[in-house]
Structure 1
Amino acid sequence: MNLPENVGNRIRDLRKAKGWTQEQLAEAASLHYSYIGGVERGDRNISLETLEKIIKAFEVPAIEFFRFEDETERRKALDEQMTLLSSKSAVEIAALTRITREVIAVMSLNKNGD
């Protein structure tokens, strides 16, 4: 496992899922955009304090950030859902979760009915 490369790839994936440029991420994390590019390429040795700034900018739980998996369409879709929910309140997330459960139930019924 190449940790700097994995961290850089994860930052890039989350940044793209959020629809941000390197400049937008740098601004949200109070960093310079050229630094973000170096981190994404695995060229820069990132400190924990800087990594914390980036994770906070994404508004994702640290445990979610450190899920290094093969990048698949499923992972990209989950990252997009995480970024969409990150700006919502707990009440809104609970409501969206109820809706999602209902949609999944209907999808399961339709799948079983085929």
Structure 2
Amino acid sequence: MNLPESVGNRIRELRKAKGWTQEQLAEAATLHYSYIGGVERGDRNISLETLEKIIAAFDVPAIEFFRFEDETQRRKALDEHMALLSSKSAEEIAALTRVVREVIAAIGLDMDDN
């Protein structure tokens, strides 16, 4: 994957995590929504000034923005967890969430890192 595609995917990922539409992101970054679509697809060559507007709209540190992961591997792991949890009750999911938080704390992972 090339850099424009990676940047576009990261913008899409952060936008969806905020629950925003392309229009909402465009408004927050003072850009046109069709431009956001082109950037997310990797079709547009984004300037540093425009990227700065988008990062500011997300209100995340630039270093966090550039934290690219192997999304395929991450998605596969998340899908596996979702499949395991899908047949569980709300109470069971809450109990499992507490256990996961305790395990993460015990092994020293900072929840803010994820």
Deviation digits for residues 19-75 of structure 1, max 9, x if unmatched?
00000000000000000000000000000000000000000110010011012259x
Query: 1 CA distance for matches of 2:104 and 2:31?
Result: 45
Query: 2 CA distance for matches of 1:47 and 1:54?
Result: 11
TM-score with structure 2 setting the length: 0.65
Deviation digits for residues 72-104 of structure 1, max 9, x if unmatched?
259x8xxxxxxxxxxxxxxxxxxxxxxxxxx53
Deviation of 1:107 after TM superposition, in Å, equals 7.2
TM-score with structure 1 setting the length: 0.65
Query: 1 CA distance for matches of 2:28 and 2:13?
Result: 16
Change (3 A) 1:104 1:44: same
Change (3 A) 1:107 1:68: closer
Unaligned runs of 5+ residues in structure 1 are 77-102, 109-114
Count of aligned pairs between the two proteins:
83
User: Where does structure 1 differ by over 2 angstroms across 4 or more consecutive aligned residues?
Assistant: 103-108
Change (3 A) 1:69 1:33: same
Other-structure match for 1:29: 29
Greater relative contact order (Cα < 8 A, sep 6+) = 1
Query: 1 CA distance for matches of 2:59 and 2:32?
Result: 19
Q: Which amino acid aligns with 1:67?
A: R
Other-structure match for 1:67: 67
Q: CA RMSD in A?
A: 2.6
Unaligned runs of 5+ residues in structure 2 are 79-100, 107-114
Other-structure match for 2:43: 43
